[in-house]
Amino acid sequence: MDRQFDFSAKTPLVDRFGRQITYLRLSVTDRCDLRCLYCMKAQPDFLPKSELLTLEELGDICDAFIARGVKKIRITGGEPLVRRNVVSLIERLGERLGKGLEEVALTTNATQLDRYAERIASAGVKRVNVSLDTLDADLFSELTRGGRLDRTLAGIAAARLAGLKVKINAVALKGANEAELPDMIRWAHGEGFDLTLIEVMPMGEIGIERADQFLPLTVVREQLESRWTLSDLPDSTGGPSRYVRVEETGGRLGFITPLTENFCAGCNRVRVTCTGQLFMCLGRDGSVDLRKVIREEGAAALQAALDQAMMEKPERHFFDVSEGAGAAVNRDMARTGG
């Protein structure tokens, strides 16, 4: 494939609802070293490595998006740091900073972060989102099916030491971590970290009824307001979080509410999987196959594929976690990209 991309101003990516796409979430692997209960089955069916795009191909796709006005790229998985040599891709993207790209970020469970934090920071990454749903070691092991809390905490410490800004992402789970959410918020704010709470999403068949896991964040906010003062903030980091200041802790708290408060009207993002499938919506099945294009055609065809995707991007998702509703889409979160 012709890998020469023109980074001069081109037509921005705008969908048929007038939303400009400036944010790409790029999954580099569907594999993970944890098995979180809300994310995947106990024995997931990982893709054969032969189906994955090479790191060079993933970088070429990123270049195509940057050429069309994407300003932020977040590396996701699975757990992105389990992919061999993935930091080389992050370093390549770091070279694009100031040349159309404004930010490279990472979402991780932090189990590998103590090995890579310094190199990631040197590549130009400023912020990492760390998935952490509990500070109780036994519950952590239960929720992750055998994971070790100390590994994640060591990764967080390494990130801080490397100068990375850490944000904690916690999925609110009914009857599991519900009671300790205030303690998690207090801990995160005491460490100087933002924390964002996320409603569980019906992605993939995981062998557990979603209705049994779903904890509406409207309920969580009411519970938090019974003990603290929450002041709404206008802040935006380019994602779906809505932020408040917890006056008593001085920290910032985010809420991602795909079910109780739909946020699709301002959607500015798309997702590309490790196999090159471009999903225009997290909660819908429609996709465009970029792997075929990038392997068999040229840069112009890749740009045409992005234009096609804009015409197919839906207005919104239709997540439903009512009892018996099943998954909104068959692919799990790890395969889609978190």
For the annotated binding site for [4Fe-4S] cluster, the residues are: 32, 36, 39, 264, 267, 281
Q: Are 88 and 29 in contact (CB under 8 A)?
A: no
Is 249 among the domain residues?
Answer: yes
Q: Are 142 and 42 in contact (CB under 8 A)?
A: no
Q: Could you report the per-residue pLDDT of 170-206, keeping only the tens digit for each?
A: 999 999 999 999 999 999 999 999 999 999 876 556 5
CA distance 303 to 319: 30
**Which two tokens mark 227?**
């003990």
The predicted structure's pLDDT at residue 261: 63
The predicted structure's pLDDT at residue 299: 81
Please report which helix (H) or strand (E) contains residue 155, including its range. helix 149-161
CA distance 287 to 284: 9
CA distance 75 to 302: 20
The predicted structure's pLDDT at residue 285: 73
Is 18 among the domain residues?
Answer: no
CA distance 15 to 257: 23
Count structural domains, the chain.
1
> What residues form DSSP beta bridges with 251?
246
List, in order, residues 6 or more apart from 4 with CB less than 8 Å away.
299
For the annotated binding site, the residues are: 25, 32, 36, 38-39, 74, 78, 107, 131, 167, 201, 264, 267, 269-271, 281
Is 329 among the domain residues?
Answer: yes
Is 6 among the domain residues?
Answer: no
Is 34 among the domain residues?
Answer: yes
The predicted structure's pLDDT at residue 325: 44
**Which two tokens mark 279?**
């999903």
Collapse the DSSP code of 241 into the 3-class scheme (helix H, G, I; strand E, B; otherwise coil) and give the result.
Answer: coil
What does DSSP assign to residue 54?
P
CA distance 327 to 273: 19
Q: Are strands 165-172 and 127-131 parallel, antiparallel or unpaired?
A: parallel
Residue span of the structural domain in which 46 resides? 23-336
The predicted structure's pLDDT at residue 213: 80
CA distance 161 to 306: 39
The string of DSSP letters for 291-329 reads: HHHHHHS-HHHHHHHHHHHHHH--S------STT---SB
For the annotated binding site for GTP, the residues are: 25, 74, 107, 167, 269-271
Q: Could you report the per-residue pLDDT of 299-335, keeping only the tens digit for each?
A: 889 999 999 999 988 775 555 454 444 444 565 666 6
Is 90 among the domain residues?
Answer: yes
Instruction: Give 117's Cβ-side CA count (13 Å radius).
Output: 25
For the annotated binding site for S-adenosyl-L-methionine, the residues are: 38, 78, 131, 201
Q: Are 24 and 70 in contact (CB under 8 A)?
A: yes
Is 88 among the domain residues?
Answer: yes
Is 17 among the domain residues?
Answer: no
Which CATH number covers residue 49?
Answer: 3.20.20.70
The list of the chain residues with pLDDT below 70 reads 1-9, 202-211, 237-239, 259-265, 283-284, 316-335, 337-338
Angstrom CA distances, 186 to 150, 193, 234, 243, stand at 19, 10, 22, 16
